[in-house]
Amino acid sequence: MPEVTIAVGGRDFQVACAEGEEHYLKSAAAMLDAEAQTMLSQIRHLTESRLLLMAGLMLADKTAGLDDTLKLAERKIASLEAELAEARAATGGVPEAVTDTLSELAARAEAIADQVESKAS
Give the model confidence (pLDDT) of 20-57 as tens digits: 999 999 999 999 999 999 999 998 888 999 999 999 99
Reported as a single tens digit per residue, the pLDDT across 50-78 is 999 999 999 999 999 999 999 999 999 99
User: Which among 42, 6, 44, 10 has a CA at the least distance from the CA of 27?
Assistant: 6
By the 8 A CB rule, do 55 and 37 touch?
no
What value, to the nearest 5°, has the Cα angle with vertex 57 and ends 38 and 23? 75
The full set of domain ranges for the chain reads 3-94
Model confidence pTM above 0.75: no
Least confident segment among 50-54, 92-96, 98-102: 92-96
